[in-house]
Amino acid sequence: MKIEWSISWLGTTWWSWPPTDLPTFWLNVAAALIVLAYVVLTWKLLRTTSAGVRHSWTANQAGLLKSVLEEYAAMAEDVAEVRRWWQQDPNTAISRYEQGLKAPHDPNVATKMSTSRRRLSQYFLRLRALCEKEMLDAGLVADTLGEEAVQVFLLYVDPLDETVRRVSGKAHKMAERDYFRAYLRTYFPDTAAADPWGMR
């Protein structure tokens, strides 16, 4: 018994069995198999490439994170200098700095503290940029750098930065303040408002 059937639409036969042109039929089958093999191989290649990119990205992050942590550790004296400025009198720390900025010729102005403030400020500016551009994962930063360094920046460095802008007649740039406040609320919700130096 011979069975014949076909698929037609709008008066055109798109496929029939047995095929009217057997060689062309098998060429089409071979072409379809080649396309299928290409799709499968491409998918496997993309998976392999994606895994490689992930591993490379993780390795790059590890190296960058190490560099970021070492940079902060190297600024221990800058942190201590800012702390000493506040310890003189927490109630006048900002006004003393503002007065000094308005009279830069005054030999009593702690220019060393001002340099330390600038270094710390620039560090946190770069750190925010790295996290926002996803070159560093903020969660990894939280696990390693932690909370105290960020709290010190927000409570003791950022207000001095604001003083510099105010004396220059400029509005304070809020990007770092807003970003790191959100960072503390996200990763350290129970201690986000803590003051590690106890002077504010």
Exposed e or buried b for every residue in 48-75, given b needs 16+ CB within 10 A?
Answer: eeeeeeeeeeeeebeeebeebeeebeeb
Structural contact between residues 171 and 165, judged by C-beta atoms closer than 8 angstroms: yes
Looking at the DSSP bridge assignments, the partners of residue 9 are: 12
On whether the CB atoms of residues 79 and 117 are closer than 8 A, the answer is no
Angle of CA points 8, 13, 17, to nearest 5°: 95
Per residue of the chain (200 residues), what is the pLDDT tens digit?
444 555 555 555 545 556 666 555 555 554 555 445 445 544 554 454 455 545 555 667 888 998 999 999 999 999 999 999 999 999 999 999 998 888 766 655 567 799 999 999 999 999 999 999 989 999 999 999 999 999 999 999 999 999 999 988 988 889 999 999 999 999 999 999 999 999 99
Model pLDDT for residues 31-67, shown as the tens digit of each residue: 555 445 445 544 554 454 455 545 555 667 888 998 9
> What values do phi and psi take at 170, rounded to 5?
-120, 150
